[in-house]
Each structure stands twice: as structure tokens, then as C-alpha cells.
Amino acid sequence: MKGLFISGSGTNVGKTFIAQYLIRYLTNILKVCVRKPVESDCKNKNGKLIPKDALLLSKACNIIESIDKVCRYKFKACSSAQIASQALGLKLTLDDLVDACIADEFVVVEGAGGLLSPIATKTLNSNLIQAINVPVVLVIKDELGAVNQALLSINAAHHYKLNISMIVLNQIYPNLLDNEKAITQYTNVNIVVFNQNDLKSFERQIEKIKLVV
């Protein structure tokens, strides 16, 4: 299986937002499909749960697939996927999620939460990444505390023997923190800065990194 797994230092750090731009970049060089194996906080529309993140990812890729294939497990509850599934009496397993990630083409998989967030019975995002064996793109909000978040996530990745392809510092607001420089003092992991007002710079940065192996 060839692809990338998009994770973050936590929730609301901009995983889906960054993933969309990354997917659009990759579609210039290869066929890309997407998977959001499980999504909670889905809205009910005419009796059907709508996974908003999965829809955004699907619109960014160049392979058309049904939303049920992109996102197999959808939950209304605004909680971790593990808790949301258990509340409905559904015992999601690691094998279920691995099967939901399978794709014939290069696949971009977005997790739910951070590397140590629970997503199924006794299953963390890190366990899923291990099982599908693809590199990780780690998204971190470029703010005060980003260095700590980055190093904690890197240590978690090393513990589970995961390959971090790059860290993306999501610069929502301009700042003078220089988190990129600070983080590089403690790791050799590739770091790029994403600024929505300078997408060309983002593309130039990721062109230097071998995302597709």
C-alpha cells in the first residue's frame, strides 16, 4: 500500500485544511484517492450522516469514489471515534479500519485526532498507521507551545516505529515565534511552514521532500 497518513498534535490544528492542499499538489503528479476511515460529529441530513471532513478530502482528489467508500464509519456524537462507536454498541476493531483504508491507488488517509487518540477498541491512530505502513504527515498549529507538541508527537512516533515524512507548521496567524528553527534543534524531521497567503512557498518546500516513494 502506497500513501500518506495525515495526523496532528491534536484536534482543530488544521489537518483537513492542510490535507486538501497536499492532495491537490499530489494530483499534479499521480492519481490520488482519499480515506477518512472513521469520522465523528457528522451532521444528520435527511436521515443520512454527512462526514464534512471526508467530503472536503474527496473533492480535492482526482479519483471519484462514493463517500461511503471514502468514509466507512460515520458517527453523530461529538466524541472520540472509539466512544462514539461504543455508544451505539458497535465494536470497531483495528482490522475494520485497516480494511476501510484499502485502496488500489496512492492513498491519503486522514486520522482522527493525534497519534495517541483512540479510534477503535484498544486501537490508537498509531496502531492503524503501523498496520497500513505508510509515512506520516504531522500537522501542528504554529503557535506558542508548538515545540512541545512537536517533540511529544515525534517521541510517540518513534515509540511506535512510525516514519514521519514531514511536520507541517500551520501558520494561521503571522507570528515571530520561529518554531521551525526551534524544533530543528531537537530533530532531523523535515519541517515546512504552511501559510495560506503564500501557497507557492509551501509547494517549494514540499518539493524538496520525497513524499512519494
Helix (H) or strand (E) run with residue 23 in it: helix 15-26
Cβ atoms 117, 150 nearer than 8 A: no
Work out whether the CA dihedral 176, 182, 184, 190 comes out positive or negative. negative
> What stretch of H or E contains 97?
helix 94-101
Annotated binding site for Mg(2+): 16, 53, 110
Annotated binding residues for substrate, as ranges?
40
74 in catalytic set? no
Among candidate residues 36, 43, 141, 200, the one labeled active-site is 36
> How, if at all, do strands 136-141 and 3-8 pair?
parallel
Q: How far is CA 145 from the centre of its chain?
A: 20
- State the binding site: 12-17, 40, 53, 110-113, 170-171
Kindly calculate the radius of gyration of the chain based on its CA atoms and give it in whole angstroms. 16
Say how far apart CA 113 and CA 120 lie, in whole Å: 13
101 contacts 133 by C-beta, under 8 angstroms: no
Grid cell listed for 189 = 524531521
**131 - beta bridge partners?**
none
CA dist 51 and 47 (Å) reads: 13
Instruction: Please identify every residue annotated as catalytic.
Output: 36
